[in-house]
Amino acid sequence: MTLALLLAALLAVTCVVVVALPFLREPEPESDHLDELDENERRRLELLEARDRALAALKELEFDHRTGTVSDEDYRALVGPLRRDAASALQALGDGGEAAQEATPKKGRPTRERTS
Amino acid sequence: MARKANPARLVIALIVAAVLAVFLLYTSIAGGGTPSIAPSELAGRSGDVQLAGLVVGPVRGDSHAGGLRFKLRDIGGETTTSVPVRYAGSVPDLFKVGRQIVVDGRLRNGIFVAEPGSMITKCPSKYVAKQSGDPY
Amino acid sequence: MAELGRAALVVSLGLSLYALVAGAAAAWLGRRRLAHSARNALVAAFFSTLVASGVLVSALLRNDFSFTYVARTTSEDLPTAYTISAFWGGQEGSLLLWLLVLTGFGSAAVLLNRRWARDLIVWVVPVFATVAVFFSFLVVAVASPFATQTSPVDGAGMTPSLQNPYMLAHPVFLYLGYVGLTVPFAFALGALLSGRTDERWLVATRRWTLVAWAALGIGQLLGAKWAYEEVGWGGYFAWDPVENAALMPWLVATAFLHSVMIQEKRGMLRVWNVLLVILAFSLSLFGTFLTRSGVVNSIHSFTQSSIGPWFLAFIGLVVTVSLAVVFRRLPQLRSPTKLESPISREAAFLYNNLLLLALSLAILWGVVYPMVSEALRGEAVVLGRSYYDFFLRIFGLPLLLLMGIGPLVAWRRASLKNLLTTFRWPTGVALATGAVLLLLGAGSSLPGLVAYTFAAFVLATIVLEFVRGTRARKALGASSWPGAFSSLIARNRRRYGGYVVHAAIVLLAVGIAGSSAFDSVAEAKLSRGESMQIGDYRLEYQALDERVASNATQIRATLAVTRGDRDLGTLEAGKNAYTIEQQVSNEVGIRSDMLTGEDLFVIAEQIDADGSVYFRVFVKPLVNLIWLAGLVFLLGSLIALWPNAREQRRLVQRTREVGVPATR
């Protein structure tokens, strides 16, 4: 009986420690702000997703054409709008993306990498 | 592009309408199911019902020759009235006096004549399926 | 030791509460350390639940009957494997298993995604915690597995029909499925709460959803096999409310898996997908409510405990809050992309969704109808098998056909001319198959014939896709045909894994059609030496034996089976009388023909004192295709699930471009 209670107490204490760990490790952090994406980064992510989506659609159309699912005629009709989508997505990233990067102030978060 | 969106939307709407129509048609033509009642509610009822009750002995007869005869009374509750049942067909293994069962059929001349093979026994605890219905 | 178990569960409840409150606060205020702490609490709740589970398992293995639960579900002579399975065999234990899987999945999902989707995870944690709080509360206050008593001499034992290998695995798979659906739900709701409109929640949960869906599917097949072999009434599925409880979320999850692809490729249907995942999760909760509360006349009812109202209240809460959040975010969810043509892959997926949803709702209606009619008319009216069969056919057969059409239609729009060319060959194959089958007598059941014809069509399209894909890869420069084939699948795992799964569903449909539309049954009372005929099988009742095993007396009737002049060996059917449990079980005899997939199914219904036996015999054509379908299903799911290195790299690249470190 006492063994059970001892183990239970041990468990409870361990869990409390685990929960308090982030506060114990950094009692005085320089920033407690949650690493979130700001407006520009969010926009950029959506643009990247749109770009990847457009490129993937093109690739899939090529594949479908090659396997014969899409006829030559249909391919010609479909590929144009897809190419335009991809181009506009890349363009939106190209200049819109750069503008976003310049506008973002360097917040000096040490955990982030920037590839530019 | 805006004009092109409309036929697709229309098609979807038509399909949804068709599905609903199928559903309504079925329920109106084929009608509802069988009412599930307790033995104490059986008196005076004609038509097919599903009787849910507790098996009361003595159990006599042979379900494969002439019919199994037993009585059913309400599950829980204070009524002691029981209904005589005659059952033919497959009898589930769990069937015995004191078990809860469900059986389809109709009242004929004071005896509940069951639909052959329609008996389902309820397991007393945990989860077990015990049934002999029509083959699937 | 029961105190340790109880304490561990209380700790788990406390941690889940903390994760909920702290997590919500951290998300709202944007506090990093608090978010981290809440996440740790969720992980700690898993470990605490694990400790509690360990206590229960050790009590089971030690046959510690001071635990009420152990005494109720096991006995001294129960084999070890089944003793362990008693963990999930009863109400309290199964709730504990649910909690264990929930906290386990939650911890894993959150930990795996904590770096690259930090702002999403911070909202996912409180959602997960809410569900964990509910189940922890149940096992702490309403249905505790750690109730104790004065130890009886022996336990009540496990119902004999549960002592079956399929019953070992069936609940586990189902729970992996049910609980697994919590992951996409939590991520979807988290994404909505965070106000994000990107697709990261979809990408993060794609594999989780697939795993949950596959587990749910396999769990149901295991249950069907168990019902077929162990319960032995001649069928494998009876539209029992509890069977429907697993089918409904599975159907909705199938719809979700498809419509999610539309969102991925075209950015459409965001609102629809979120609503679908909420529905799937709610149905999985509803399903378990049905199984436990005894609220519907089901042969599966657990002990009628007070657990029902709690579940109902929680489901109500989940649905109301989720819908409120969706409503709030509606303007942001609306996507600019529209459906371009009623003849496109998007449209095909949409039709698939509508049919699956219609079927699920028809089943749901059938399940709740007794409760509704009782509330409205004072009388519970039960809808029978014919209701479910009707809707299965009317929605299921078009779905079957659609499986063959969808993959061969282009995205955005396809011309009618293109379609006619593409489908020329599969249609020809289907019509030819239909004609041949008609000549062979399959016209006796129209739905069966239609199912076979559609199945042929779909199989033809799948073969076509594999052939054309391989040919295309060979043309691109693959070294050999096998090389082209394997690289085709390797580079398009989801697509071709999906095709394999479709093939499995086709097999399933054919197996179901064969064994239900074209089966036959015969009954006869035989004395020793007499024989009966069914189809071209002849069965001669030869002998009756009684054997005493460790826990039961086994009575077996031996039948000699011949077909024409070919001797097919002997078959045994009979009953087991279990001494401790005081129950009799049916032990059917099944002879499976490997070539035709047909089963000869013998039930010894009644054994009289004079040794004569009343036999009920079925011939079930193609029924073994159903079990084969399970294996193919597993294969297809594994192919689709397999990690794709290239896809992973692209994901990492994308998030790095945004500036978020993507070390997963």
In chain B the domains, ranked by start, together with CATH numbers, are 36-121 (2.40.50.140)
Query: What mean pLDDT comes out for the span C464-483?
Result: 87
Q: Which pLDDT score is estimated for C392? A: 94
Q: Which pLDDT score is estimated for C496? A: 92
Higher per-residue confidence, C616 vs A104? C616
A16 pLDDT above the threshold of 90: yes
d(CA C562, CA C564): 6
Residue type for C185, please?
F
CB contact under 8 A, B12 and C300: no
Query: What mean pLDDT comes out for the span C516-543?
Result: 91
* Strands of the sheet with C599-607, listed across from one edge: C520-526, C613-620, C599-607, C589-592
d(CA A58, CA C614): 67
CB contact under 8 A, B126 and C73: yes
pLDDT band at C220 (very low <50, low <70, confident <90, very high): very high
What mean pLDDT, rounded, does chain C reach?
89
Q: Which pLDDT score is estimated for C571? A: 92
d(CA C564, CA A49): 66
A114 pLDDT above the threshold of 60: no
- Hey, is C573 helix, strand or coil? strand
d(CA C155, CA C63): 8
Query: What mean pLDDT comes out for the span B57-86?
Result: 84
Q: Are C345 and C210 in contact (CB under 8 A)?
A: no
Q: Are B95 and B74 in contact (CB under 8 A)?
A: no
Query: What mean pLDDT comes out for the span C221-245?
Result: 90
Write down the ipTM of this complex: 0.81
Q: Which pLDDT score is estimated for A98? A: 52
B79 pLDDT above the threshold of 80: no
Q: Which of C72, C341, C381 shows the shortest C-beta gap to B34? A: C381
CB contact under 8 A, B129 and C523: no
Q: Which of B19, B92, B129 shows the shortest C-beta gap to C240? A: B129
- Determine which helix (DSSP H) or strand (DSSP E) holds C454, and give its type and residue range: helix C446-475
pLDDT band at C295 (very low <50, low <70, confident <90, very high): low
| Residue of chain A whose alpha carbon sits nearest to that of C52 | A8
pLDDT, one tens digit per residue, over C305-355 is: 578 888 889 999 999 999 999 999 988 888 778 888 888 898 999 999 999
pTM of the model: 0.91
Query: What mean pLDDT comes out for the span B101-106?
Result: 89
pLDDT band at C654 (very low <50, low <70, confident <90, very high): confident
Query: What mean pLDDT comes out for the span C513-533?
Result: 91
Q: Which pLDDT score is estimated for A96? A: 52
* Strands of the sheet with C552-563, listed across from one edge: C531-534, C537-548, C552-563, C566-578, C583-587
Residue numbers in B near C237 (CB within 8 A)? 136
pLDDT band at C301 (very low <50, low <70, confident <90, very high): very low
Q: Which pLDDT score is estimated for A95? A: 59
Q: Which pLDDT score is estimated for B129? A: 32
- Hey, is A104 helix, strand or coil? coil
Q: Which pLDDT score is estimated for A113? A: 40
Q: Which pLDDT score is estimated for A103? A: 44
> What tokens appear for B122 in the block?
């309820």
CB contact under 8 A, B64 and C606: yes
pLDDT band at A108 (very low <50, low <70, confident <90, very high): very low
What percent of chain A has a predicted confidence (pLDDT) above 90? 12
DSSP label of C88 = G
Query: What mean pLDDT comes out for the span B38-46?
Result: 83
Q: Which pLDDT score is estimated for A11? A: 92
C599: phi then psi, degrees, rounded to nearest 5: -115, 135
Query: Chain C interface, mutation test: which of B1, B126, B132, B134, most C Cβ atoms within 10 Å?
Result: B126
The DSSP line for C125-194 is HHHHHHHHHHHHHIIIIIS-TT-B-PPPSS-----GGG-SHHHHHHHHHHHHHHHHTHHHHHHHHHHHHH
pLDDT, one tens digit per residue, over C80-136 is: 888 999 999 888 999 999 999 999 999 999 998 887 788 889 999 999 999 999 999
Query: Chain C interface, mutation test: which of B97, B128, B131, most C Cβ atoms within 10 Å?
Result: B128
Q: Which of C233, C387, C519 shows the shortest C-beta gap to B90? A: C233
d(CA C313, CA C308): 9
Q: Which pLDDT score is estimated for B127? A: 37
Query: What mean pLDDT comes out for the span C629-650?
Result: 88
pLDDT, one tens digit per residue, over C39-85 is: 999 999 999 999 999 999 999 999 888 899 998 888 888 888 889 99
pLDDT band at A53 (very low <50, low <70, confident <90, very high): confident
Q: Which pLDDT score is estimated for C296? A: 59
pLDDT, one tens digit per residue, over C371-417 is: 888 788 777 888 888 889 999 999 999 999 999 999 888 888 888 88
pLDDT band at C662 (very low <50, low <70, confident <90, very high): very low
A99 pLDDT above the threshold of 80: no
